[in-house]
A and B are shown apart, each in its own frame.
Chain A
Amino acid sequence: MYDFSPLIDSLSAWLNQTFSPFWAGFISMVLLGVALLAFYAVLGLYLVYAERKICARMQNRLGPNRVGPGGLFQTIADLIKLLMKELIYIRNADNLLFNIAPFIVIVASIMAIGSIPFAKGLQAIDLNIGVLYILAISSMGVIGVLIAGWASNSKYSVIGAMRSGAQVISYELSVGLALLCIIAYAGSMQLSEIIASQQDGWWIFKGHIPAWIAFVIYLIAGTAETNRGPFDLAEAESELTAGFHTEYSGIKFAFFFLAEYMNMFIIAAIATTLFLGGWLPFHIWHFDAFNRIMDYIPPVIWFFAKTAFVIYLMMWFKWTFPRLRIDQLLALEWKYLLPINLMNLIVIAFLILMQWHF
């Protein structure tokens, strides 16, 4: 019903008619880049705002409420402040790496956003290995974190970066395996096809219990991969002051900060796409009147509502749980999540083999 592909197609057709193929490609790239960047900045800012409001709600306070109605412009004011702040250079720091690190982190998260389908046809690039691409790109962020920790020439930063490295490398496995469960069900790595396979029911509903297990594991591991919530050891402020970004100031700090929120968004968006049916509306079997009404709600809204729900879950973890210790964190992954995940995958393979899935 709401299909964006004709719009996108006609736009590219017009570009190809008007300009030479090189310039058409160039302009579409620029347009796409600008659109993604603007989307990224706005979304990042409002995720920060949402987090502050939600955590305030959980902590019996009001949260930002002075700048704009309900504090809506607070994060924009914060961004302006961060933009104008002095960038402090650290003596004895490796300047090149020190300056590159925040860009690696932020570029990784921007690139991952490119292949997320927001609605039918509303996807910057629909790779046939979309899931693999997102996994690969989003785990590049940790290189930035490691570089930041190392180049800062600060002991707190190094500890934070090492923790982050150990954490991301371990939890990457669980994220990958949990997604593999759904890839096995859907039989494709292309995000648009995974969504198409959920036309008659989201994977979390028709994937039996293994899909639920995979979803829970994915949520835990995804939270850990973004260095958030009970897994924020890399920046454990009571132990390491601020972990890997202790020495960063101004806009470079803001990059890390924004990237953290965007990574959270990416994790939630993938959870939505693979488990919760992406931009597909919520349908109930043989309940046509209800389904028809659901269809009227635009897919973009469906997508963002589901993503917001997952993000809310992640924020909920963060503001209610104490932080894990590094050995407990690794034990959780290697002793519990990974074996459960592997067993889960075998069960799913068996289910598919026996044609017991829907």
Chain B
Amino acid sequence: MEETLMDLDLKEKEEYIINMGPQHPSTHGVLRFETCLQGEKVKWIRPHCGYIHRGIEKMSEALTYPQLVHLTDRMDYLSAHINNEAVALCVENAMGVEVSDRVKYIRTILAELTRLASHQLWWSAFGMDLGALTTFFYGLRDREKILDIFEESTGARLLQSFITPGGLMNDVHPNFQKRTKEFVKYFRKKLPEYDQLLTGNVIFQERTKGIGYMSLEDAISYGVTGPSGRGSGFHCDIRKIAPYSAYPLVKFNEITYTQGDTFHRYLVRMREMWESLDIIDQLVDNIPQGPTMLELKAVKPPKGEFYQRVETARGELGVYIVSDGGPTPARIRYRTPNFSNLFIINKIASGHKIADLVAISGSLDLVIPDIDR
């Protein structure tokens, strides 16, 4: 093999470059980390994205608003309901209409169930990143129950496209309330198991405490939102800052820690699951009656520009619609949480070991299609 100048340079410094991804067990999707290693130590990381870029923003320009909702499922596929809700809320705000209380309640319950399902999957995969394979099956066992609720009401398990501008595609299944309550009761018993299996483990704590420190300034500057940002003390919960749907009506805590390491990003998510259960508890018993779909003549926002922020399971999702008054947007822009959360990895993982890189990228909870869109 011919040696390039770069090879020689790297050889002198005893460094070498390894490509983690696009196909790699720890990237949870097609993302490539160009990682420079010195022995086991990570010198720098350069993330390369675009392997699953589908041009959702471009495609959406040719679709009507009710149609383009379906594409948002495919961004952060683990918070599909919340993505739908973001577009729906943005269009509704633009048109100056308000959905019925029933829709608001159901949307919020679905959003919190989605958050739970997403955090369960994250917990499963995070354990696996650290080499504790058993967590995967515990997490998926409980997530299955949420997906069953979704399946019954929306007809789909992963990409539901259930929330649409003007309300919901359909009313929820008559069993929805009963099964959700059953699930909350069940999961309150199962969640302590998660702590027993992983949180208290000495090896786990050794692996995560003090690793991947992210300062509050960095979190704000890079725009790291969601549980990852809240682990550094960034008060970025849109449900608190700019409440939407039924969030003004419920009491819950915004979980923040100031330590900013991998372990506290983990704790934020674990405690957020309890908060989500509380929110569902407060709402599920008093879902009011009412129409589930507004009678809209046409979904056509007026000329103008509209922005809507919502909190997905991974952080702040912004939907920016530029409308010329037509049935399709002139430009739609998604400010996706994972896009902003990704790029801090070079800052927080440099200087750590290669095994820590896996733990840190796991603690940021990246969903790759959401980065590439």
Could you tell me which A residues sit within 8 Å of B by CB distance? 55, 58-61, 92, 155-156, 159, 163, 230, 232-233, 236-239, 241, 319-328
Contact = CB atoms under 8 A, between A and B. Distances in A.
A232 B131 contact: yes
A58 B134 contact: yes
Contacts of A321: 131-132, 201, 203
A239 B197 CA distance: 22
A239 B134 contact: no
Contacts of A241: 24-25
Given A159-B354, A238-B128, A239-B355, A59 B138 contact: yes
Interface string B173-207: 00000000000000000000000011001011011
Contacts of A322: 127, 130-132, 198, 201, 203-204, 207
A60 B137 contact: yes
A298 to B, nearest CB: 36
Nearest to B355: A325
B134 A323 contact: no
Interface centre among A58, A163, A230, A322 (most CB of B within 10 A): A322
A60 B207 contact: no
B144 to A, nearest CB: 11
Contact of B355 (A59, A156, A320, A323): A323
27 contacts: A59-B134, A59-B136, A60-B137, A60-B141, A92-B1, A155-B16, A163-B40, A233-B355, A238-B26, A238-B130, A238-B131, A238-B358, A239-B354, A239-B355, A319-B133, A322-B127, A322-B130, A322-B131, A322-B203, A322-B207, A323-B132, A323-B207, A325-B207, A325-B355, A326-B40, A326-B355, A328-B207
Closest CB pairs A-B (n = 7):
A323-B131, A59-B137, A322-B130, A322-B132, A238-B26, A325-B355, A155-B18
Given A239-B355, A328-B206, A320 B197 contact: yes
Given A159-B40, A322-B203, A236 B134 contact: no
Interface in B26-40: 26, 37, 40
Contacts of A237: 25
Interface of B: 1, 16, 18, 24-26, 37, 40, 127-134, 136-138, 141, 197-198, 201, 203-204, 206-207, 353-358
A239 B362 CA distance: 11
A241 B358 CA distance: 12
A324 B25 contact: no
Given A58-B134, A319-B134, A322-B127, A236 B355 contact: yes
Contacts of A320: 132, 134, 197
Contact of B353 (A58, A155, A327): A327
Nearest to B130: A322
A84 B137 CA distance: 31
Given A238-B25, A241-B24, A325 B353 contact: yes
Contacts of B37: 159
Contacts of B18: 155-156, 159
Contacts of B129: 238
Given A322-B130, A322-B207, A324-B206, 9 more contacts: A59-B133, A59-B134, A238-B129, A319-B134, A321-B203, A322-B201, A323-B203, A324-B207, A327-B353
A322 B125 CA distance: 12
Contacts of B127: 322
Nearest to B27: A238
A180 to B, nearest CB: 28
Contacts of B128: 238
A47 to B, nearest CB: 18
B31 to A, nearest CB: 14
A244 B107 CA distance: 49
Interface centre among B130, B204, B207, B357 (most CB of A within 10 A): B130
